[in-house]
């Protein structure tokens, strides 16, 4: 067993997202199609014998104690009752708070990576359950496959989606997820549909229930969405602020990403069905 692992933490898109209810604890019941995409942060986890969890690359504006990857490592350490520690280094590409699930994916990579490095032998189900304590989007990254999700996003069913090219734009705005979910104008009562119905409807029928509220609160998002929709069908991912458009061809996606890049951070990325994290871990 090597004393160090370098692993990807990929982004996700919500190809569609319906809000079908609200729980007593304030969390919202969703129906969503998660798709992993070929755009990732990279984490290096190195074994420490002294039991400490050390973050060697602090993230701007995030206190070490609040950092989701540090919290993930400590949670696993407590859960497994291990005295092993780790140094965590991150090469950050994904925007924070953009609806791409970057922080959740980082946490999932730490849980799955340390499970291997510390030789704990926990199952994916156990890791996903732990991950849910850190955030509603963590389990899908442990699951590691495109999925239909219900509950708050943790009840996952594996699906196989088409794998188009996406252009992703991050309008220069930080969207607050709790604020979007608390907005009185948010649609909270979409009629639940079956997974078969969602898949059968296909991309032309997919929508994101957060989009109207986010566009209203953040005019920069509305402006970027109008711009992107001139080229291809476009939508918000999660609670935003990132937007994505779907393209058949890599060439078209790269051309539009380059144009978008003159105004905003923008990427062209391929849709996947299997996460590169699972490939890297060999599971
Ligand atoms: O779980 P996560 O940390 O991503 O959620 C951030 C906030 O978004 C929660 O505290 C909650 O206010 C809101 N949320 C929600 N329903 C969800 C997911 C998140 O209301 N399904």
pLDDT band of 280, cuts 50, 70, 90 = very high
pLDDT band of 114, cuts 50, 70, 90 = very high
Angle between helix axes 68-80 and 102-117 (nearest 10 degrees) is 30
Torsion of the alpha carbons at 109, 139, 250 and 90, rounded to the nearest 10:
-20
Q: Tell me the average pLDDT of the chain.
A: 95
pLDDT band of 282, cuts 50, 70, 90 = confident
Cβ proximity of 120 and 82 under 8 Å: yes
Residue 59, pLDDT score = 73
Question: Among this protein's residues, is 92 annotated catalytic?
Answer: no
pLDDT reading at 44 higher than 80: yes
pLDDT reading at 65 higher than 70: no
Query: Is residue 230 helix, strand or coil?
Result: coil
Q: 165-270: which CATH architecture? A: 2-Layer Sandwich (3.30)
pLDDT band of 64, cuts 50, 70, 90 = low
Residue 172, pLDDT score = 85
pLDDT tens digits, residue range 159-197?
A: 999 999 999 999 989 899 999 999 999 999 999 999 999
Nearest CA to ligand 1 atom 15: 27
Residue 255, pLDDT score = 98
Is 121 annotated to bind a ligand? Reply is no
Cα(180) to centroid(ligand 1), Å? 9
* Stretch(es) of the chain classified as CATH 3.30.70.890: 165-270
Give the strand pairing for 85-91 and 53-55.
parallel
Is 105 annotated to bind a ligand? Reply is yes
Looking at residue 239, what DSSP letter applies? Answer: T
Looking at residue 59, what DSSP letter applies? Answer: P
Give bridge partners of residue 266 from the DSSP assignment. 169
pLDDT reading at 1 higher than 60: no
pLDDT band of 58, cuts 50, 70, 90 = confident
Question: Among this protein's residues, is 137 annotated catalytic?
Answer: yes
Q: In this structure, what token pair is assigned to residue 12?
A: 């996700």
For residue 241, is the peptide bond before it cis, meaning its omega torsion is within 30 degrees of 0? yes
ipTM above 0.90, yes or no: yes
pLDDT band of 2, cuts 50, 70, 90 = low
Which CATH fold would you assign to the domain 4-159? Answer: Ribosomal Protein S5; domain 2 (3.30.230)
Provide the whole-model pTM.
0.96
Q: Which of 136, 208, 214, 238 to mutate to test the pocket of ligand 1 (most atoms within 8 A of CB)?
A: 136
Is 131 annotated to bind a ligand? Reply is no
Report CA 228 to chain centroid distance, whole Å.
21
* Stretch(es) of the chain classified as CATH 3.30.230.10: 4-159
């Amino acid at each position: 067993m090597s004393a160090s692992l370098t692993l990807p933490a990929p982004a996700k898109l919500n190809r569609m997202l319906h809000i079908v209810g609200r729980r007593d604890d304030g969390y919202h019941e969703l129906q969503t199609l998660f798709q992993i995409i070929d755009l990732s942060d990279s984490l290096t986890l190195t074994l420490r014998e002294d039991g400490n969890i050390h973050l060697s690359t602090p993230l701007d504006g995030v206190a070490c104690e609040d950092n989701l990857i540090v919290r993930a490592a400590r949670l696993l350490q407590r859960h497994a009752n291990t005295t092993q520690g780790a140094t965590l280094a991150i090469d950050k590409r994904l925007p924070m708070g953009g609806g791409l699930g970057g922080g959740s994916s980082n946490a999932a990579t730490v849980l799955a990576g340390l499970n291997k490095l510390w030789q704990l032998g926990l199952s994916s189900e156990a890791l996903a359950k732990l991950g849910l304590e850190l955030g509603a989007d963590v389990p899908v990254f442990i699951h590691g496959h495109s999925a239909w999700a219900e509950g708050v996003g943790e009840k996952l069913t594996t699906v196989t989606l088409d794998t188009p090219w996406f252009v992703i734009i991050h309008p220069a705005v930080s969207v607050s997820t709790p604020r979007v979910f608390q907005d009185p104008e948010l649609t909270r009562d979409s009629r639940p549909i079956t997974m078969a119905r969602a898949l059968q409807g296909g991309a032309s029928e997919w929508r994101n229930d957060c989009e109207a509220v986010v566009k209203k609160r953040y005019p920069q998002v509305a402006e970027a969405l109008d711009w992107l929709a001139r080229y291809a069908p476009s939508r918000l991912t999660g609670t935003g602020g990132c937007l994505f458009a779907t393209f058949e061809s890599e060439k078209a996606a790269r051309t539009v990403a380059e144009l978008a890049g003159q105004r905003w951070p923008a990427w062209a990325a391929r849709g996947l069905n299997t996460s590169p994290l699972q490939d890297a871990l060999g599971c």
